[in-house]
Structure 1
Amino acid sequence: MSLKVQLQNAQKDALRAKNKARLSTLRMVMAEIKQLEVDERIEVSDDRIIAIITKMVKQRQDAAKQYQDAGREDLAEHELAEIPVLQEFLPQQLSNEEIDQFITQAIAQVGASGMGDMGKVMGVLKPQVQGRADMGAISGLVRSKLN
């Protein structure tokens, strides 16, 4: 079953269960997907949906941090409550050991010898770990290994 169908079914279930918070989050994801489909006149693939959801999780985390810094815990809690609903539809997160293995393999694959090869390494890594790890953290780890 495609990820889009899973999201639609979860949306229907949330509607039946009268779970307003979950329903609102799922509607937001579906609206984002629909907007992309209309704008680009395509049927969105599972990989694109994972990228959309990953971006939305990152946005929620950033917004929650900003709200907390501003002393608005009520708004921060709302943002943080949406994150687990979004993460349900992402692939299982990679462990630190798995991430380290992927980085080591990518460095060996492109024959990276220094920071000049970081783009090549990240190009190999991104499709392998997209949605399963924080790309910012991956970038930092690659940078430290290449130095």
Structure 2
Amino acid sequence: MLKQRILNDVKTAMKAKDKPRLGTLRLITAAIKQREVDERIELDDTQVLTILDKMIKQRRDSISQYEKAGRAELAEQEQREIEVIQDYLPEGLSDAEITAMIDEAINATGASAMQDMGKVMGQLKPKMQGRADMGKVSGLVKQKLAG
């Protein structure tokens, strides 16, 4: 399980005195625990991937804000955190794989217009979670359905 792997890596980082990595791993475990406590559930790998995706998105937003404010050192810190988080995501999909999966989902759902976007995204999200930028995927689906 992904969650167990993260917890094991926390111990490894503590033993290695790798403070930057340990800090990021603790942020991840805190986010997982928070959701488990709030919802009174044990998270599975898919739910953990959702959290990791959200954490990466937040850091990308922060990086752009820090760069606009001329705070390069803070942007670099966020980038290092992204690199640690990405260690736990499955290998990313290529553009060709994303396009093929979108076409397959459109055909499977019979989508033909923008109002069908929810059906298409509903089918794609579980397959692509943690492997593709869902914002980018959403834009590609919009283009296909609009065109």
TM-score range (shorter-chain normalised) is over 0.9
Superposed counterparts of 1:77-116, under 5 Å: 77-116=76-115
Shift of 1:118: 1.1
The one-letter amino acid of 1:69's match is K
Counterpart of 1:69 in structure 2 is 68
C-alpha RMSD of matched pairs (Å): 0.8
The one-letter amino acid of 1:108's match is N
Superposed counterparts of 1:30-49, under 5 Å: 30-49=29-48
Superposed counterparts of 1:49-68, under 5 Å: 49-68=48-67
Counterpart of 2:18 in structure 1 is 19
The one-letter amino acid of 1:82's match is E
Shift of 1:114: 1.5
Distance 2:70 2:29 in 1: 31
Counterpart of 2:122 in structure 1 is 123
How many residues are paired up?
146
- The answer for unaligned runs of 5 or more in structure 1 is none
Structure 1 stretches (4+) deviating beyond 2 angstroms?
Answer: none
- The answer for unaligned runs of 5 or more in structure 2 is none
Distance 1:115 1:32 in 2: 34
Of residues 110-119 and 66-75 in structure 1, the stretch that sits farther from structure 2 once superposed is: 110-119
Shift of 1:37: 1.3
Distance 1:40 1:143 in 2: 32
The one-letter amino acid of 2:138's match is S
With structure 1 as the length reference, what TM-score do the two structures score? 0.97
Counterpart of 2:131 in structure 1 is 132
The one-letter amino acid of 1:83's match is I
